Structure 1
Amino acid sequence: MGETRISRLAAPVLVRGRSLFSGRLFERLRHVLWAALISLALYAVFLLQPIDQFLWLFQSRVADRNPTGDVVFVSSNEALNDTDNPQTRFRVAAALDELDRQGVGKVFLDIPFSTSENAAADARLARAIADLGPRISLVDRILEGPTGERIRRTTSPTIAGPATRVVSDQTDRDWYGFAWRLHYAYQNDGRVTRSLGAAIAGVEGNPNETFSVDYGFAVDRIPTLQLDELSGNARSLSELAAEVTGKTVVIGHSGLVAGSQQPMPRKMDAAVSYVDIYAGESLKAGHTGSLRGPIVLSFFAALLLISIVFSRARRQRWVAYSATVLVAPALLYAAAKIGIRLELSYALTFLAIYAALRSRMRWKRRVEMVNQETGLAKLRALEARLIRDSVTNGHIVIAKI
């Protein structure tokens, strides 16, 4: 009696299990496996990375969130470190003195100064840097030379004194010239130096570790000042104090200065300092996460398998397929809003390959059901129609002439 009860319960499960490995269902599962293997092979060679980066541009556009407002960018439309015009160093020194008087929190001088022929100008700048003490850090920039070599531009020790150094690496760029991932620190000559983005956020990290830069912050909401507003009398002291007191200030060249442009998702001719400002804002907000291609691919593969296994009728499958496809843009939008970068291209390719395999199989089956000489349907077409319409009774008479 007990064995009969168990067999009755197990019978539907066994029938469904056998159906998984026979007929159309097994064919669909085989196509899922092939689509997944091809997508993983594409991921192994990073072939679809440009597509992901294009989708990240979309994520950056739709995020539209506010920065903390704690980081102020002070820019100049004129090259301040030109050795042929050392008089500009007096203006930089005056701006640093004003920031000191206004009680600035931290200052990052994102302009490397080499020694000029005007010793008085160099000494004036060195004195302003020394007066800020531990509150100022000087930025060393790593550039790519004409033959691919790495060039490090740094402030002369006679000007820098004992000031702290941080690094901004302009070689961390992708296919389109964007900086999507940056390092917490960089190692040079056996010495580890914190990156500018990590220093702005006040975090430490390993040189081998990277983080995602979130460009979802509106660029026009990042507080900005012109250098002349600090070194001149363009604003009242009360207005200036409200903008810089206790804040983190980054001093750099604007995008109008030759060699200081950097494309960003929200501003194609942005000042290069903006990349590190966004990096700092990303670390402050905690928006440094990402979902890699295999994870997203596994998620969509699971959705597709559920659609195949639990959708018996053709219409049910098409509804499930449509729902799976619609999940992709919804997931991309939701991830942008919460600050998670999504590698979606491999999952989209997986769905496209599966659709192509199924379309090819349906085309092949239609060809097999038609006589190529007469253009008439074969007996196999009639059998398929009876199975599709669930015809289980009645009689069919076939006469062959």
Structure 2
Amino acid sequence: MHRKFWLSERSRHLYIAIAIALLAGAISLLKPLDITAWAIQSRLSDRDASGTIALVEVGAYTDQNAAEENRHIASLIRKLRARGATRIFVNIPLRESNLPSVDEELSRVLSDNLDYVYVAGANLPEQQNATQDLRANALSFERLKGFDNDVSQDFLRFVWTIRAEGDGGRESLAFALSRSGQKRTEVFIDGTIDSTSIPRLNQGNFDLAIDRIDVPDTAFVIGVGQLGNELRVAKHGYVTNSVAHILGAETLLRGTGQRVAFYVLPLAIGLALLLGVWFARTPRIRRLVYAACVLAFVSVFVGTGLAGVQAHFADTLLLLTVYASLRGLVLYKQRHLYIDPITRLPNFSALRRDFYASEGQGNQGVVVVKILRLDSIFAHVSEGEKRAYLRQVSDRLCITGKDTKIYFDGGKYFAFMLDGAIDYESHLSGLRAIVSQPIIIASKSIDVAVTVGADFSSKGLPAHRLSSAIAAADHAREAFQPVFIVSDACHDDEWDHSLTARLAEALAEDRISIKVQPQVDLKTGKFVAAEVLARWQDQAGNEISPARFIPQFERMARLDELTGRILDKAMAALRSLQDTGCVLPLSVNVSAVQFVDDRIAEMVEKSLRDYAVDPSLLKIEVTETARIEDFETARQIVERLRSQGITFSLDDFGVGSANLEALQRLPFDEVKIDQLFIQQLAGSCKTRAIVEGVLHTTSRAGMTSVAEGIEDLETHTWLSSIGCDRGQGYFIAKPMVISQFRNLLELNRDVMSRPDYG
């Protein structure tokens, strides 16, 4: 395991699950689930009560029958004492009746049995002697032993625990009955104790029932026997206050009823899972660990229920649920989001994940194989034949090694990881030769043309190196350099990893700016347009050439992001020019590689909408047109934008990748003659002939001609004389910021508006 286990994905998921579970427990978020769990536990078993605590039931006690009840209580105490009872608990509020003789009789009985009788609420502080409080005693028995019969209920009126002492500092009835002597602050009622097994005596069965009781060793609770809706105990339903305290006392007698802190079980299960993640090196062992943790959870649930111990299960269940959900999401991604639906091969999202995970495993490189002219091939085959074609290409790539994992991006790129310790240059050249053999599908022979790009450098993040390999495959050319490899030995600035890192920072901090270079009508001298130029000055103050940093954006797979930034800045500039009345069309450079789908069109349309700019003020200069592999798609995108009023220009015509095929197949409105020709006009008849030919072609085709790189008066004059429409260059104006451009336009407008006096 090359990544430390506490930083692994599974560990992070466990940290999240544990944190959520502990937070939920701290705020009792899932208490209703815990209540349900305790109710279920109470039904796991039925245990008889000890029989050493008996309930002596009396009728409902009201102010109207106080005299009768006082007489009845006095009679019960005499009978119990006559049978040898030594612990009698009167869990009824004793009130003065309307018959003083009856009250005096009760007082005399109580006074005669001070050592044996305990009264609810006796000797409580005066401020707590509220007449309606069950604990209050309206009669004055300062010398009697007292107890507290208070209970706490949850929002469903269930009683789960009984405190050792009440608010007044008196021992609670449950603890007084048990005489357990345990140093505990509360007891959790053991729900498995059967309340029907508690010995019960009443006026009708008193003599018969008491004969079956060991009276001297039994504590008797004189309490109301009629059920109400005041209290609920799990499994037993509604019970009286006396029954609740007796169940608490029985729990104490059993030695159970302890409470486990809410955080104990989640932390224990969470730690067990963490250790399992650490030691489990295979999916099978991990599944066994998960099963063991679930089994342990169930065992704790059953065990604590049988033992009468209160534990919090909802928080642990939440932990397991959150962790299972997070792992399930990962599994879903692996099965669906990480799999190409056509080939069933892992996609490039899976490649990025695996490439990052392989960091540190030797000199691992990433290889990208680009299938050329794939769209034209797929235009004439069925879906099944497409799948067969791609699978055969994948099978051929597997010749690299039986354990090689092939990835497919769903478009035209395959990829795999390769050990850089081998002779990868000859290996990849041989692999390309094998892959390029025709494929036979349904008796049809289909050609395969590929270029290969690879990054075997040791610098940069895995994501950057993958983007580098993709760009290398794009950079490679089938005819003269079909395999392009980036390595530490590669000193080409185009593959400068340091520059890549600095550019990523520049994007994040929005430090890519623009300048504009004006264009003039060579016949009138009037400014008619301007080209937007990307500019970047790094943090060291160095001006980096666009010819160097723009290819870096492509290899970083962030060319769309750069283009979007430049478009937005250009549209903001047009908006400001519109507001001042000094507006001219601006042209923005867009690489031909971006004309592969509708994203570039959507980007342009969004920018125009966001800044409310007239589309006719935007011109798109298409660069590197030789890299267009699907002219039909590119033409549809160009026509979509032209229909809105946007114009198109073929940039750098005559050199590099700006060629006649692009001029013929795409509906351009303008051709820009590269400065390589313009700057050699003075000393080369051949160059002048070429430029004249281009101007003649553009004029006949109804396109505007623009000369780039005009740096002297002689060139300017000659171009004007032979019919070139527009010019651009240092002789006319250098690139400038928008404010300078606005001032230049205002000055040009003033000059042009002055009358000519001859």
Instruction: Report the counterpart of residue 252 of structure 1 in structure 2.
Output: 223
Q: Which residue of 2 aligns with 1:117?
A: 98
Question: In the TM superposition, what is the alpha-carbon distance from 1:29 to its structure 2 partner?
Answer: 0.8
Match of 2:30 in 1: 48
Of the three residues 377, 388, 393, the one matched with 2:345 is 377
> How far apart are 1:96 and its partner, in Å?
1.0
| 1:235 counterpart residue number | 208
Give the deviation of 1:71 after TM superposition: 0.4
What is the letter of the counterpart of residue 139 of structure 2? P
Any conservation in 2 of the 1:110–1:252 contact (CA below 8 Å)?
A: yes
Question: Match of 1:289, SS?
Answer: coil
- What is the number of equivalent residue pairs in this alignment? 357
TM-score normalised by length of structure 2: 0.43
CA 1:228–1:379: 2 relative to 1, 3 Å: closer
Structure 1 partner of 2:55: 73
TM-aligned CA deviation for residue 343 of structure 1: 1.2
CA distance in structure 1 between the aligned counterparts of 2:47 and 2:256, rounded to whole angstroms: 11
Structure in which a larger fraction of residues adopt helix = 1
Q: Distance in 1 between matches of 2:222 and 2:22?
A: 44
Runs of 5+ in structure 2 lacking a partner? 125-131, 358-398, 405-430, 437-447, 450-758
Q: How big is the shift at 1:301?
A: 0.9
Q: Residue type of the partner of 1:315?
A: R
The separation in 2 between residues aligned to 1:26 and 1:213, in whole angstroms, is: 43
Partner of 1:345: 314
Amino acid at match of 1:183: R
The equivalent of 2:703 in structure 1 is none
Larger deviation, residues 100-109 vs 172-181: 172-181
Distance 2:18 2:68 in 1: 63
Over 3 Å counting, the alpha-carbon distance change for 1:210 and 1:379 in structure 2 is closer
State the secondary structure of the residue aligned to 1:316.
Answer: helix
CA gap of 1:392–1:53, structure 2 versus 1, over 3 A, is farther
**Structure 1: gaps of 5 or more residues:** 1-15, 143-149
- Matching of residue 62 in structure 1 with residue 33 in structure 2: no
Q: Which residue of 2 aligns with 1:266?
A: 235
Question: 1:269-302 deviations in whole A, cap 9, x for unaligned?
Answer: 2222111111212222221312222111111112
Alignment of 1:101-250 (within 5 A): 101-140=82-121, 151=133, 153-158=135-140, 160=141, 162-170=143-151, 172-188=152-168, 192-203=169-180, 209-230=185-206, 234-235=207-208, 240=211, 242-250=213-221
The verdict on how the C-alpha distance between 1:85 and 1:138 changes in structure 2, with shifts beyond 3 A counting, is: closer
Partner of 1:356: 325
Partner Cα separation in structure 2 for residue 395 and residue 42 of structure 1: 46
- Higher Cα Rg: structure 1 or 2? 2
1:292 to 247, 261, 264: 261
- After superposition, the CA RMSD in angstroms is 3.2
Letter in 2 for 1:225: L
Question: Structure 1 residue 210: deviation in Å?
Answer: 2.8
Report the CA distance between 1:32 and its aligned residue.
0.6
Call closer, same or farther: CA 1:129–1:227 in 2, change over 3 Å: farther
Distance 1:376 1:26, change over 3 A: same
What amino acid sits opposite 1:214 in the alignment?
Answer: D
Q: Percent identity?
A: 22
Using the TM superposition, give the Cα deviation of residue 64 of structure 1 relative to its aligned residue in structure 2, in angstroms.
Answer: 2.4
Moved over 6 A (4+): 381-385
Q: CA deviation at 1:153?
A: 4.1
State whether residues 90 and 223 of structure 2, in contact with CA within 8 Å, keep that contact through their aligned partners in structure 1.
yes
Asked whether 1:306 is paired with 2:275, we answer yes
Q: What do residues 50-88 of structure 1 show as CA deviations (whole Å, max 9, x unaligned)?
A: 211221112222142232211011112x22454345223
* Letter in structure 2 aligned against 1:167: D
Once residues 298 and 85 of structure 1 are traced to their aligned partners in structure 2, the CA distance between those partners, rounded to angstroms, is: 55
> In structure 2, what is the Cα distance between the partners aligned to 1:376 and 1:277?
67
Distance 1:368 1:156 in 2: 75
Q: State whether structure 2 residue 252 is matched by structure 1 residue 283.
A: yes
CA contact (8 A) 2:87 2:219 kept: yes
Change over 3 Å in CA distance of 1:242–1:84 after alignment to 2: closer
Aligned partner of residue 178 in structure 1, secondary structure: coil
Counterpart Cα distance in 1 of 2:249 and 2:402: 75
1:303 shift after superposition: 2.0
CA-to-partner distance for each residue in 1:243-271, whole Å, 9 max, x for gaps?
43331000101233x56x42111211222
